[in-house]
A = this chain, B = another copy of it.
Amino acid sequence: MSRSPSQAPDESAETLPRQQRTYSIGELARMFEVTPRTIRFYEQEGLLAPSRQGQKRIYREKDRVRLKLTLRGKRLGFSLAEIREVVMMYDAMPDGNARQLKRLIEILDEKRANLDRQMEDIRLMRLEIDDVDQRARDVLRQLGKED
């Protein structure tokens, strides 16, 4: 065993700063508790674009962040298409023309409105859950007394 550059969480795991670290597909998969298949699928859908080292995919910090954002979006019920829409426009920003930028701002506004609605939904849902919970505990307490 003499300094294996491959295998293991990447030799740079501790020595290099985050920005220069790289990840294998398996590593990322474990970090986010998804399968490699999922990550490849996201690439196919244009959400990730890792570089290659021979045949193998090499993921950098940027890719990791993207994956994180993608999964967060998923947890909020967004479709991959929606997520891609924003992500791609974000990337196109630097050299974007005015029309594109305005469109992006519009989309962001919609997303924000959407998030606000979700926020409210969560609030209401919590109230219901708390209510059901309270009732359940009440009934349970009654059952205890009857013995």
Tell me whether B73 and A76 are in contact (CB under 8 A). Answer: no
CB distance B137 to A105 under 8 Å? Answer: yes
Please, which residue of chain B has its CB at the minimum distance from the CB of A74? B77
Report how many copies the assembly holds: 2
Interface string of A105-146 (1 = CB under 8 A from B): 100100110010111011011101100110111011001000
A125, B72: Cβ atoms closer than 8 Å = yes
Residue of B nearest to A68 (CB): B124
Total interface residues on A, CB under 8 Å, equals 39
Least CB distance, A143 to chain B, in whole angstroms? 5
Of the candidate stretches A11-19, A52-60, A94-102, the one touching chain B is: A94-102
A90 near B: Cβ within 8 Å? yes
User: Is A88 positioned at the interface, with any CB of B under 8 Å from its CB?
Assistant: no
